[in-house]
Every structure is written in structure tokens, then in C-alpha cells.
Amino acid sequence: MKKLFVYSLLAVLTSLGPVFGGGVRQSRMQVSAIVLPAARLDVQSATALTVRVTMYPNAQALVWTASGSCGAPDRSKVIQSSGIHQLAFSFEEVAGKDRVCLASSDGVLHTSALLPH
């Protein structure tokens, strides 16, 4: 009796396999994305900031402190690759300055942020 039950159960499960199993399907999807250059300056303190930057290949970012507006880079720090970078300035580099500036070497990116007093 037990064997008959087991065989019956196996027969039912085998017949329902295609209904629930459905077989294995594979599909392929191709994705392409365009990542545009962008930069964000997160000022942590008067001497520290986090720079999040995405640049075109072979471009670099220059980061410097300025007073009033971002003129020509003065004593700038160089970021060579896209990513998240932690930068620190000395007290001499921020003395009398009220903002931090970023510009990319290819001229695509320009941004600035105010430094705390």
C-alpha cells in the first residue's frame, strides 16, 4: 500500500513538473550607459572637504581655495581620477579665503562651495 502511494505521488509530480517547472529559459540583455561629467564639493570643515567627481578619460580636476570668486587656480590640489576623494587644506591655504573651487583640465567642470567662517 505504501509503495502504491509513493508511485502514485511520483507519477502526479512528474506529470505536473512541466506546469510548475516551466523549463529553464535564458535571455540576454545588453545595456549601455552614458555617464556625464559631474562634480560635488561637500565641505566638512574650514580645512577638509569631500570631492565626488566623474570626469572624461584623461581629464584631471584642480581644487583650490579662493577669496570672492574662483579666479585662476592658486596652489591647487590635483585629482587624477573619477571617484570620491578626501582633501585637506592647511590653515595657511584657507586663511582669508571664503570658498573652495574645482575645475577640470578639459574645461567641462566648474563648481565651488563656501567655506565656513
Tens of pLDDT, residue by residue over 58-97, are 999 999 999 999 988 888 999 999 999 999 999 999 999 9
Q: How many domains does the chain have?
A: 1
In a domain, 31, yes or no: no
Would residue 94 count as lying in a domain?
yes
- CATH number, domain containing residue 109: 2.60.40
Report the alpha-carbon distance of residue 38 to residue 102 in Å, rounded. 11
Is 26 among the domain residues?
no
> Which pLDDT belongs to residue 15?
63
pLDDT number for residue 88: 96
Residue 90 lies in a domain: yes
Residue 111 pLDDT > 90, yes or no?
yes
- Tell me phi and psi for residue 16, to 5 degrees: -90, -10
The helix or strand, by DSSP H or E, that contains position 110, with its residue range, turns out to be: strand 110-114
pLDDT at 3 over 60: no
- Domain housing 45: 38-114
* DSSP 8-state symbol, 58: T
Q: Does 46 reside within a domain?
A: yes
Scanning the structure block, which residue is given the C-alpha cell 567642470? 109
Q: Where are the alpha helices (DSSP H) in 22-87?
A: none
**pTM of the predicted structure, to 2 decimals:** 0.71
For residue 113, count other CB atoms closer than 10 A to its CB.
Answer: 14
